[in-house]
């Protein structure tokens, strides 16, 4: 009886076709007696054109499209909800194939149009000032899911502002270096001429500080930019706000960043959120200057954006001026970044899936 049932019901487990490399696609088509150039055609549909329906791949034969439909699927990301800020920032709730939700942000600023994208569903690092850190990490994103976010934000920029995407920052939900292979795989697709063809110089990956993976970035001689979420230049304060510092101390990070710089020639950027009466004194500024002298670097001063149930507050304007002036006087390259999208919880540190879709799925 069991054998009869087995014969009657054949379960075909479909694979995600975008997990295949061009070489793997080519080999596949050889096994089904299709010419090898079909692999390049399919690859072009999947990445350069981001087609999510096999039926629309018009230069393929109907039997081949049927074969792909039967044996493969495309786990495409979709924009399920979109919010537009008073300052034109757009936050998108991105629905994944398994109903998880991540958030991505389009940040228009002058001639720059930046996509801020996520690398994980939730986060495991529990940084005290970050709303995402209060979420449980559910899983890593695949390279194609990260790539999809960029394409969807790119399309959103054209549809709403008729402007091309100029920059990409991996500063959304999750820690990119704890999803190393998929993140670098997505960068490869974004920069590849068969993908989006963007320059790696327009991509920045931000990390809370995973020293051994920063060292690996140097060994891999990556071409994109690196930012370290620093926020304090002494271990005691950094331990308090970022538990990852307990196993990735400032000295360890300095060594890995110096290795990164020596291997790539790229200066890392230190991101420094200034909190009132915590890390905004001239002594804190002096510690930051001393740390910057350990490795060639730049500093981005970032406004603190309030989140629920947090002990921190935004520093006073006069303390911010004194802090930044001290850095400049000591020849530190320093920029003050003004937050955007605060009114829709889209600013730095605010991504926490407060959108309606995520709340419905939680229920």
- Residue 81 φ then ψ, to 5°: -155, 140
Using CB atoms within 10 Å of the CB of residue 129, give its burial: 0 to 12 exposed, 13 to 18 middle, 19+ buried: buried
Secondary structure letter of residue 47 according to DSSP: I
- Sign of the CA dihedral with 150 first, then 170, 146, and 344 last: negative
Among the listed residues 92, 123, 127, 348, the single catalytic one is: 348
Among the listed residues 34, 103, 271, 303, the single catalytic one is: 103
Task: Round to whole Å and give the CA distance between 14 and 216.
Answer: 34
H or E element that contains 235: helix 235-241
Residue 348 is a catalytic residue: yes
Q: Which residues are paired to 227 by β-bridges? A: 206, 269
Residue 123 is a catalytic residue: no
CA 7 to mean position of chain CA atoms: 46
Using CB atoms within 10 Å of the CB of residue 5, give its burial: 0 to 12 exposed, 13 to 18 middle, 19+ buried: exposed
Task: Round to whole Å and give the CA distance between 238 and 226.
Answer: 19
CA distances from 35 to 31, 110, 133, 187 (A): 10, 48, 49, 29
Secondary structure letter of residue 279 according to DSSP: S
Considering just the CA atoms, what is the radius of gyration of the chain in Å?
23
H or E element that contains 62: helix 62-71
Q: How many helices (H) and strands (E) does the chain have?
A: 12, 14
Q: Which residues are catalytic?
A: 103, 348
């Amino acid at each position: 009886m069991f054998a009869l049932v087995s014969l009657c019901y054949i379960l075909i487990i479909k694979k995600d076709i975008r997990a295949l490399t061009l070489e793997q696609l080519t080999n596949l088509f050889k096994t089904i007696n299709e010419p090898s150039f079909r692999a390049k055609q399919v690859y072009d549909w999947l990445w350069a054109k981001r087609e999510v329906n096999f039926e629309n791949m018009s230069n393929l034969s109907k039997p081949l499209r049927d074969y792909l439909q039967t044996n493969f699927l495309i786990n495409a990301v979709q924009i399920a909800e979109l919010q537009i800020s008073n300052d034109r920032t757009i936050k998108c709730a991105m629905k994944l194939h398994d109903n998880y939700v991540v958030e991505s942000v389009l940040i228009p600023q002058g001639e720059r149009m930046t996509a801020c994208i996520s690398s994980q569903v939730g986060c495991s690092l529990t940084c005290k000032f970050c709303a995402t850190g209060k979420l449980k990490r559910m899983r890593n994103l695949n390279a194609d899911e990260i790539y999809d976010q960029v394409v969807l934000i790119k399309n959103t920029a054209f549809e709403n502002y008729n402007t091309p995407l100029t920059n990409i920052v991996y500063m959304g939900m999750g820690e990119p270096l704890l999803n190393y292979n998929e993140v670098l795989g997505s960068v490869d697709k974004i920069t590849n001429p068969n993908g989006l063809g963007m320059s790696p110089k327009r991509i920045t990956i931000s990390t809370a500080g995973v020293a051994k993976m920063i060292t690996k970035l140097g060994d891999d001689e990556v071409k994109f930019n690196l930012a370290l979420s620093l926020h304090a230049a002494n271990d005691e304060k950094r331990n308090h706000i970022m538990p990852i510092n307990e196993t990735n101390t400032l000295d360890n990070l300095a060594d890995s960043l110096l290795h990164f710089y020596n291997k790539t020639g790229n200066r890392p950027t230190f991101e420094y959120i200034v909190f009132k009466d915590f890390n905004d004194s001239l002594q804190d500024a002096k510690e930051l200057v001393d740390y910057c002298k350990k490795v060639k670097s730049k500093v981005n001063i970032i406004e603190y954006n309030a989140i629920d149930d947090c002990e921190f507050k935004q520093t006073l304007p006069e303390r911010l001026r004194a802090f930044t002036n001290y850095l400049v006087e000591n020849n530190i390259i320093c920029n003050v970044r003004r937050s955007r999208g605060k009114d829709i919880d889209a600013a730095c540190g605010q991504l926490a899936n407060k959108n309606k879709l995520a709340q419905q799925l939680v229920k």
